[in-house]
Amino acid sequence: MQNQIGTFLERVEQCKTLIELNTVVAELRHIFQVNHVVYHSVNSLGEPYALATYGQEWAEYYESEELYRVDPVVLGAFQRFHPYDWKSLDWEKKPARRFFQEAQDGGVGNQGVSVPVRGPHGEFALFSVSHTCSDEVWTRFLAAHMPNFLLIGHYIHASIRALEFPGVEGNYVVLSPRETDALRLLGAGLNRGRAAEQLKISEHTLRVYIESARSKLNASNTTHAVAKAMAQGLINI
Amino acid sequence: MQNQIGTFLERVEQCKTLIELNTVVAELRHIFQVNHVVYHSVNSLGEPYALATYGQEWAEYYESEELYRVDPVVLGAFQRFHPYDWKSLDWEKKPARRFFQEAQDGGVGNQGVSVPVRGPHGEFALFSVSHTCSDEVWTRFLAAHMPNFLLIGHYIHASIRALEFPGVEGNYVVLSPRETDALRLLGAGLNRGRAAEQLKISEHTLRVYIESARSKLNASNTTHAVAKAMAQGLINI
DNA sequence: AGTAAACTCACTGGAAATAGCGAGTGCATT
DNA sequence: AATGCACTCGCTATTTCCAGTGAGTTTACT
C-alpha cells in the first residue's frame, strides 16, 4: 500500500495537464476503495478549480445553491490544520442537517475526511475523501491513512500550482523593508500616527511607504494593500 | 527507516509539554544523521516559539541582529509551498552572502532544507534540517526524505498548537454572513460605496456590518479588522 | 563612476472612516 | 412563546486617510 502511494505521488508530480491530473486523482477511489475523492479551492484567489469524482448533478446543485456557505466541511476547514473527520464537525444547525441529507442523496456518502491545504499566496484548498460505511470501519481507515491524505493533498496542490503558473519561482511583488514594516503595523491595527512613531519616522514618510506599497501591489487603498500583502505572504500579523 | 519515522510522529503527537517536544524533536538529528533540526515560527502571531538544536551563541546572535530580515531561508519561505533546498534560494545579494558565511561559522552547515507550515490562524512556521556534506550526498538525502519532512513539520506544528491552546476546537470569533461579505469586499479593494452596491444594501447598513465585525474582532479600524479576519481564516481574498 | 532604488521629509483638498445615537423586521434555537 | 441574533435603514460631528506632486540623501548594484 505504501509503495502504491509513493508511486501515486510521483505520478501526480509528473502530470502535464489538469485533465491528466484529474484522471490520476480519480484513481484514488480504487486505491483506497472509497466512494469519492475531491480536491477543490476554497477561496477566490486565481482561478477556482476542482477535481472531483462526484456526479455532475450534485456538483451543479452545490454550486448553484452556494452550499459552501452552509457546508460544515468547508466552514470547518478555515479553523483547522490537521486532517479532520467529518464527524468532528458541527452538524446540529438546521441548514447543516438539511445539507447532510442532501449530500447523502447526492451519493457523497455518510463518512468523510478532509485535509486543509494552505499555499503561499493565500490559496486555500481542500482534499477530501468520502465513503459509505460504519463508524468502526471508518475509524480504522482513518488511523491507517491520515498521513497519506496529508501528503496527497499537498502534492496535488503543488502540481496544480505548477501547472497554473509554469516556471514561476520568484516573488511577484517585492516590498522594501520599510514598506513591509508600514503594512505590517497598519495590519496590526495601528493608525498612521502610531505606526510612524513606532518606526521612528514622520507620518509624512510613512505615507510615502504606504503609497509605494499600494502602487506595487496594485491595490486601491490601504486596506486592500494590507489584504493583498497578507494573501501573498509578504506580511504576517 | 519509515517505521522509525512513524514512531516518531506518534511520539510527537503524544508530547505533553514543549520541553518534552523539544527533546523528541532533537532526536531527529540522530534519526537523519544531520547537524541540526529547527522548528520555529516565522511571524508574530501568538507567542513566538522555536525548537532548535543550534548553539546558543548563534541563536542569540541571529535574534539580536534581526537576521531573519536578510536570511534567504526565511524570506524564501513566504513564497514557497513545498519543501525547498536552501541551494534553490537567492544567495547572490551582499547581505545574503555575508549571512551564509556567518551561518557556516555558527555551525549550521553548508546544506539545508526547509518546510513551510501554514496554520489556520495565520501561523506560519518553518521546519528545517541542515547538514554539512557534498551536493551529491545531499541530493540523494533529499530525494529520500522530502515527504517525511513534510509530515514531520506538520506534526510538530499540530503538537505545538495543541499544547498552546489545549481544548480549543471551535471558532474564536464568528462573523455573520453579511459581516463576512463586508470584510471580504473591503479586503478585495472595494470602497464602502461599491461594496454596499455589490451586496445590494445601503452604505449605512454596510457600515453597521463593518462596525459589528470590528467590534467582534476587537479591531481598531477597518484595515485591522480585515487583517485579523484574514489571519483567522474568516475571509479569503 | 553612474544609475537605480530605498529612505527621508513636506503640503493640500477631497474622500473615507470612526463613534455615537435610534428603530423596526424576521428567523431560529431554546 | 420568547429570547437572541441577524438584517435593514437613518443621522451627524470629528478624525483620519487618500492621492497627487516634489525633492534631497544614502545605499547598493553594475
Residues B149-192 have pLDDT tens digits of: 999 999 999 998 888 766 544 446 778 888 888 888 888 888 88
Task: Name the CA dihedral angle for A172, A213, B48, B129, rounded to a multiple of 10 degrees.
Answer: 20
Cell numbers placing B46: 501568538
Specify the range with the lowest mean pLDDT, choosing from A13-22, A136-145, B45-54, B201-210. Answer: B45-54
Residue B12 has pLDDT above 70, yes or no: yes
Task: Decide: A236 and A229 in contact? Cβ < 8 Å.
Answer: no
Q: What is the ipTM of this complex?
A: 0.79
Q: Distance from residue A176 (CA) to nucleotide D16 (C1'), in Å?
A: 25
Q: Measured between alpha carbons, how far apart are the two ends of chain B, in Å?
A: 42
Whole-number pLDDT of residue A93: 79
Residues of chain B found within 8 Å of residue A224, distances taken between Cβ atoms: 186-189
Tell me the one-letter amino acid at A132. T
**Residue A11 beta carbon within 7 A of nucleic strand D:** no
- pLDDT, tens digit, for every residue of B55-110? 888 888 888 777 877 788 987 887 788 999 999 888 887 778 888 888 888 889 99
pLDDT score, position A46: 55
pLDDT at B29 over 80: yes
Q: Which residue of A has its CA nearest to B77?
A: A120
Residues (1-40, chain B) with CB within 7 Å of strand D atoms? none
- Check CB contact under 8 Å for B189 and A221: yes
Q: Which of A45, A69, A90 sits opposite B237 (nearest CB)?
A: A45
Whether the pLDDT of residue A227 is over 80: the answer is yes
More confident residue, A45 or A163: A163
Task: Express as a percent the part of chain B with pLDDT over 90.
Answer: 32
Rounded to whole angstroms, the Cα distance separating B162 from A81 reads 11
Beta bridge partners of B116: B126
Distance, CA of A66 to C1' of C29, in Å: 23
